[in-house]
């Protein structure tokens, strides 16, 4: 088996650690059935009406789109909100939790994903950095104040033939302006970073207490390198899981998807995936 030696090395790094950093990019969600927005073709496969309008990801995922066509912008984000709420995280999330649970200092997640899948998978909410924000939280588009509030009351009804929200648009409870997801978008001067910054401060406190950290990086691209940068900043041999770009300076490269890699690691560490249920809510 080609990956056998790499899996053994990775398992040894994990067995010896006192804390686990899980650094995750968009690729971790593919095995849960979530769409991949890589390139226009991947993006438009998920959103055909936006292909008809000739809109690329960065042209809809920006604050301007809420000004020019709020129902189209909210059609896109409302559909994603409903999709992420309805998605069951794949078994790999439970394996990651089980690996971290064996370590004295547990695990911490750093992710560029805005989909809330780690929370859904039962990870401690106080041990997650959502570096680009969260679709499950809203803010004012202006913004009139620093308020960030849960999107729990938003139940988007989207006409997916046109990618347009047909239910009520959400508004800022303070000033009545349009509300938007608390996500760092493209060309975004209005994003409120306070929630992510508070998460980051908790992460910094956690990492300073570690003696022998282990790092698993999953599905993190090279285009937006924030996840890779944090993984490498731990200055320990890194377990990099990526089906396309797994090459790593110091550590173990697993050139495969997240779920297959984690399943192999679970076997090597004698973790029973069926005992590490991914959903606890």
Footprint on this chain of Zn ion (rule: CB under 5 A)? 140, 144, 172, 174-175, 177
Distance of closest approach, residue 127 Cβ to Zn ion, in angstroms = 31
How near is the Cβ of 63 to Zn ion at its closest, in Å? 14
Between residues 7 and 140, which has the closer beta carbon with respect to Zn ion?
140
Between 95 and 172, whose beta carbon lies closer to Zn ion?
172
Nearer to Zn ion, 129 or 140 (CB): 140
Question: Smallest distance from the beta carbon of 154 to Zn ion, in angstroms?
Answer: 16
Minimum Å gap between C-beta 144 and Zn ion is 3
Which is closer to Zn ion, CB of 16 or CB of 67?
67
22 in Cβ contact with 218 (< 8 Å): yes
């Amino acid at each position: 088996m080609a990956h056998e030696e790499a899996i053994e090395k990775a398992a040894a790094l994990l067995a010896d650690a006192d804390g686990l950093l899980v650094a995750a990019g968009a690729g971790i969600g593919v095995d849960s059935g979530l769409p991949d927005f890589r390139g226009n073709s991947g993006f438009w496969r998920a959103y055909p009406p936006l292909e008809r309008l000739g809109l690329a990801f960065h042209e809809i995922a920006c604050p301007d789109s809420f000004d020019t066509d709020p129902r189209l912008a909210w059609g896109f984000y409302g559909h994603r909100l409903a999709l992420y709420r309805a998605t069951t995280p794949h078994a790999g999330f439970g394996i990651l939790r089980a690996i971290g649970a064996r370590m004295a200092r547990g695990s911490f997640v750093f992710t560029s994903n805005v989909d809330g899948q780690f929370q859904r998978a039962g990870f401690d909410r106080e041990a997650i950095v959502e570096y680009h924000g969260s679709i499950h939280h809203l803010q004012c588009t202006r913004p009139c104040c620093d308020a960030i509030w849960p999107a729990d009351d938003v139940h988007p009804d989207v006409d997916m033939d046109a990618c347009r929200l047909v239910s009520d648009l959400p508004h800022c409870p303070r000033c009545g302006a349009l509300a938007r997801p608390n996500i760092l978008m493209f060309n975004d001067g209005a994003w409120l970073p306070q929630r992510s910054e508070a998460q980051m401060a908790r992460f910094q406190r956690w990492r300073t207490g570690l003696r022998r950290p282990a790092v698993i990086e999953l599905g993190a691209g090279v285009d937006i390198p924030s996840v890779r940068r944090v993984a490498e900043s731990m200055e320990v041999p890194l377990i990099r899981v990526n089906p396309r770009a797994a090459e790593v300076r110091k550590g173990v490269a697993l050139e495969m998807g997240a779920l297959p890699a984690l399943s192999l690691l679970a076997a090597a560490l004698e973790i029973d995936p069926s005992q590490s249920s991914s959903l606890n809510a």
